[in-house]
Structure 1
Amino acid sequence: MAQRRALATVFALALTLSAACGTTSENSGQNPQPGAAGGDACAGPDGTYTIGMSQANVAEPYRERMDDDIRTAAAKVPQFTVEFADAQQDNAKQVADVENFLTKQIDLLIISPNEATPLTSVVAKAYNKGIPVIVLDRKVDGDAYTTWIGADNVEIGRTAGKYVAEQLLPNGGKVGELRGLAGSTPAKERGDGFREGIRGTNIDIVTSSDGDWLREKGQAQADAMFTANPDIEVVYAHNDPMAEGAYLAAKAAGKEKSLKFIGIDGLPIPSGGLKAVEQGRLSATLIYPTAGNEAVETAKQLLIDCEEVPREQTLTTELITIDNAATVYDEANS
């Protein structure tokens, strides 16, 4: 591994790459950037590779599922060994986790950042060392990474807003918002998109609180929200666990039948959003792919196939209501 890294440095200084290396589409026709494609790290199908996966936390079911999807997909690639680190929603710990991976001289980094700005520098450090970096779900600042894989959170928020405006509150009304972690890009984008979706309607977001993506905090924030704003009719939560927490808070107050709840994630597991919609606790959710399978496939393209990959890979989403929840769940588990 160390010998391959040393050779990579020599090649980078000489600004020469083999024909198989390629560049990202964004850098096509320019001098290759460090970590821009898998060429320097790629030893082909005869190589063996250690991948470091830095997860923001595993307290969220979505992130636990992301790790499981990466683990399952990587098990099908005999050249891959994946090491996982849990940052526990702690930016400093996640920085240290990535630094530890660099000390171990990993061949590729996958990271789902806790927050964007605090993780930008260490991600750039890995990238500038010539290590391909795959950023999942949440973003970092700037463009010092190989590829980002995730869904369009603005569009997800916009779809949620339109659903509330057209189906839940067609005559207008009051919404309480449970946001994700303030410094994470999906929280801002899902909030911005929702506001676009309800623009021009008589819907008011009367309060917004940070639930940090967690069910327990979402429940506590919703409880306070209902006390301060008893006229709330819909809770828009930035993920399903917070939406379920809001439902529990409403149930404890005897208000669950008079309120509607919408979340995001739509995990196809018994405790996930698909079942919550099917069972009537949530009015809707939106599928938010974990990108675990796509991350491993991209790692294979970079390390084994020596192929270029796009700078961004946007995954599709889907609105889930009572009309399609059972079908989508069954298809996901077939």
Structure 2
Amino acid sequence: MRNLKAPLAAAAVAALVLAGCGTTNDRTSDKPQAGASKQCKGADGKYVIGMSQANVAEPYRQRMDDDIKAAAKDVPQFDVKFADAAQDNAKQVADVENYLTQQIDLLIISPNEAKPLTAVVKKAYDKGIPVLVLDRKVEGDAYTGFIGGDNVEIGTEAGKYVAEKLLPQGGNLVELKGLAGATPQAERHQGFVDAIKANPKIKIVADASGDWLREKGQAQMDALLKANPKIDLVYAHNDPMAEGAYLAAKAVHREKEMKFIGIDALPIPSGGIKAVEEGRLSATFTYPTNGKEAIAAAKKILVDCGTIEKTQTLKTRLIDKDNAASIYAEENPTG
């Protein structure tokens, strides 16, 4: 037995060295690693990336796709394909399955909802395809890396701002939620309601789901206005719904009775920063699109043969009337 120990030890060391070089499957234990990919061919390789988007009806998601395209132009090895699920879980599953048939080298996905997309994301990951999950999570940890904002923190910051600055004396507010089943919806709600507990004079009198869309937010707010004669503030889970709520209130000449806040703060003419600058929203909170970060992570995995963190959390910041104009100019230096 003593004579067998040396060869066995040498074999074990060799296996560890190979794993460290990324030449074996990263999943060497029950816990998946966020590691180098067997698809990595270095700078001389060519790589097809599939981007599966939950929908492009939201300006935020279109901007995410645009940021991915812009960042990918600087990586000549990349060919990025895009698919729009149009808020349809079944279509998004089919989109990913199609990418797997095409034998893509890496999958980027922003899931419409967590649970329905979990299995197909795991399927891709188990095939050895690196998977980057953006913005909205899936269940479990069968993916290479998650990149997104801390939605609990964003909701918390929004709640603190309402409790301390916008409604210090208390008041009635309504909440326009995002799509049920999407993790940011639950997290932005939880962070917010926990934060406003610091001001017991604030009461959430009603809520509704606007599914992240301006038109649905406007329709839901129209109904909320009819049912609630006193509303002091609208907390919307994104800027398009906040703008929709503002339009509904304006249509019945009640927009001056209340304040409106949202989340996303896109630096575009129709985005939240301009809405704050122009006085329709009292505040918004930045929610990075994760596009350039996703391409940087893909490059590290596929071109550099490196590893990435399992979770990359991007910070938020408050945009209000005091800084909206300067931040918009900072984000758009050419005008």
TM-score (normalised: structure 1): 0.92
CA distance, structure 2, for counterparts of residue 50 and residue 38 of structure 1: 17
Secondary structure of 1:120's counterpart equals helix
* Residue of structure 2 aligned with 1:78, choices 76, 79, 98: 76
Q: Which residue of 1 aligns with 2:260?
A: 261
Q: Distance in 2 between matches of 1:131 and 1:312?
A: 17
Q: Look up the match of 2:275.
A: 276
**Pair 1:270–1:50, CA change in 2 (3 A):** same
Q: Secondary structure at the match of 1:257?
A: helix
Give the SS at the match of 1:83.
Answer: strand
Instruction: Please name the residue that 2:12 is paired with.
Output: none
Counterpart residue number, 2:8: none
Please say if residues 151 and 188 of structure 2, whose CA atoms lie closer than 8 Å, have aligned partners that are also in contact: yes
1:22 shift after superposition: 9.2
Q: 1:238: which partner in 2?
A: 237
Displacement of 1:18: 5.1
- CA–CA distance in structure 2, aligned partners of residues 121 and 15 of structure 1: 30
- Paired residues of 1:250 and 1:256 also in contact (CA < 8 A): yes
Q: Secondary structure at the match of 1:154?
A: helix
Q: Which residue of 1 aligns with 2:55?
A: 57
In structure 2, the residue matched to 1:326 is 325
Partner residue in 1 for 2:3: none
Query: Which segment is superposed worse, 32-41 or 125-134?
Result: 32-41
Other-structure match for 2:202: 203
What is the CA-CA distance between 1:197 and the residue it aligns to?
A: 1.1
Aligned pairs (5 A) from 1:66-215 = 66-201=64-199, 202-215=201-214
**How many angstroms does 1:34 deviate by?**
6.3
Inter-partner Cα distance in structure 2 for 1:35 and 1:74: 25
Contact in 2 for aligned 1:265/1:287 (Cα 8 Å): yes
For the residue of structure 2 that corresponds to 1:205, the secondary structure is strand
Q: Give the aligned residue type for 1:97.
A: D
Distance 2:52 2:326 in 1: 33
Cα drift, residue 232 of structure 1:
1.1
Q: How far does residue 200 in structure 1 lie from its aligned partner after superposition? A: 3.1
Deviates more, 1:323-332 or 1:30-39: 30-39
Cα contact 1:223–1:249 (8 A) shared by 2: yes
Q: Which residue of 1 aligns with 2:5?
A: none
Separation in structure 1 between the aligned mates of residue 104 and residue 17 of structure 2, nearest angstrom? 23
- Identify unmatched segments of 5+ residues in structure 2: 1-14
Query: How large is the Cα RMSD of the aligned pairs?
Result: 1.8
Mean Cα deviation higher: 167-176 or 79-88: 167-176
Measure, in 1, the Cα distance between the counterparts of 2:16 and 2:131: 20
Q: Give the drift of 1:38.
A: 2.8
Are residues 281 and 332 of structure 1, via their aligned partners in 2, closer, same or farther at CA, if it must alter by over 3 Å? Answer: same
Equivalent residue, structure 2, for 1:11: none
Shift of 1:39: 2.7
The alignment covers a number of residue pairs equal to 317
1:162 Cα deviation from its structure 2 partner: 0.6
Question: Does the 8 Å contact 2:32/2:141 carry over to 1?
Answer: no
Paired with 1:63 and 1:226, the residues of 2 have a C-alpha distance of 29
Paired residue type of 1:332: E
Distance 1:38 1:19, change over 3 A: closer
Determine the structure 1 residue equivalent to 2:18: 17
Alignment match, 1:46 = 44
Over residues 165-196 of structure 1, what are the superposed CA-to-partner deviations in whole Å (9 max), with x where a residue is unaligned?
A: 11111011111000000000000000000011
Q: TM-score, normalised by structure 2?
A: 0.91
Task: Tell whether the 8 Å contact from 1:268 to 1:329 is kept in structure 2 after alignment.
Answer: yes
SS at match of 1:135: strand
| 8 Å CA contact 1:34, 1:127 repeated in 2 | no
Q: Quote the offset at 1:32 in angstroms.
A: 8.3
Separation (CA, whole Å) in 2 of partners of 1:171 and 1:34: 50
Does the CA contact (< 8 Å) of 2:273 and 2:284 recur in 1? Answer: yes
Q: Cα gap change, 1:33/1:21 in structure 2, threshold over 3 Å: closer, same or farther? A: farther
| Identical-residue share of aligned pairs (%) | 67
Q: Deviations over 1:185-223 (max 9, x none)?
A: 000000000011101311111111000000000000001
Residue 106 of structure 1 deviates from its aligned partner by: 0.2
Give, in whole Å, the separation in 1 of the partners of 2:265 and 2:19: 43
Question: Which residue identity lines up with residue 318 of structure 2 in the other structure?
Answer: L
Contact 2:173 2:203 in 1 (8 A): yes
- Is the 1:15–1:32 Cα contact (8 Å) retained in structure 2? no
Larger Rg: 2
Give the aligned partner of residue 307 of structure 1. 306
Change (3 A) 1:248 1:228: same
Shift of 1:59: 0.1
Q: Give, in whole Å, the separation in 1 of the partners of 2:213 and 2:32.
A: 36
Q: Distance in 1 between matches of 2:173 and 2:242?
A: 13
What secondary structure does 2:254 align onto? coil
